[in-house]
Structure 1
């Protein structure tokens, strides 16, 4: 997992050197992308406990995807340098949503490994936080992160990345809930896949 996130993080770090822009929107975007992947590296090293392995083809696909997302979000923002600002400036709202998203995502990732004691590999029904309402609250908060990045950037491309990520994570949540329902007879029926009380 460390290998998956490192190239995307390094793109973020390099962007400060490659594009030393004095534009606050671009600075916030580079910072958000870099912090997002730094958090993932931090979680891999200090938080997560893994129960399985990944095939090489899956590793390559995910690594390239994250690398491309990081690179493309930053690179497409360079095309806006020198252009007039949007008539409605949403970057500060974006920063707030990003911070809520990254905090909520981290908190729920922090709860997950606490389900297992040392050496345990079996799956358990997640508890605590928003796990009482949805099976994948960390995905919900990750979408808030990307929505925050989109509002910071305010480009069609960044909103497209957020929409694609949201659809993917919603589908993963739905499949995850189906899996839990099939494996655990005592799975709480009120726990939804993604949106509390709705879906």
Structure 2
């Protein structure tokens, strides 16, 4: 990944994290939501972060040191979707939204869902153009659907 892209991604995640925490401090003292979704949110966040880590680990094993060749990822959910790490990242942000239950966190999650849907769609198109043997049944982000 180019350095300028990495810096931009890091800045975006830092800004989102900081603003989500700040939004929580603004809500101190306000009435709690009538339904507590904190514990399902914690479980969803843990599933999301673990799945994201695992699929990034699988991606890291694809390339040899100094190699420039591309391969079709295998293992995990890569047999069903080409971007399972995006799917699990979305689940992680959905968990954060359930934990915080603020309009801002749900808005951030919606923005991330739309962004990662677009990226996964483009990634699938790229793999289909690069590899003649790319399996047509492998979806972009959501198994069997999209």
Match of 2:120 among 149, 165, 173: 173
The aligned counterpart of 1:62 is: 9
Q: Could you say which structure has the greater relative contact order, defined with CA pairs below 8 angstroms and 6 or more residues apart?
A: 2
Question: What are structure 2's unaligned runs of at least 5 residues?
Answer: none
Distance in 1 (alpha carbons) for counterparts of 2:40 and 2:124? 31
TM-score of the superposition, structure 2-length normalised? 0.94
The aligned counterpart of 1:53 is: 2
- The equivalences for 1:70-85 within 5 A come to 70-85=17-32
- Root-mean-square deviation (Å): 1.3
Q: How many residues align?
A: 146
The aligned counterpart of 2:73 is: 126
The aligned counterpart of 1:46 is: none
Deviations 1:95-144 (A, max 9, x none): 00000000100110111121223332211000001000000000000000
Distance in 2 (alpha carbons) for counterparts of 1:167 and 1:90? 23
SS at match of 1:86: coil
Question: What are structure 1's unaligned runs of at least 5 residues?
Answer: 1-51
TM-score of the superposition, structure 1-length normalised? 0.70
Deviations 1:144-171 (A, max 9, x none): 0000000000000000000000100010
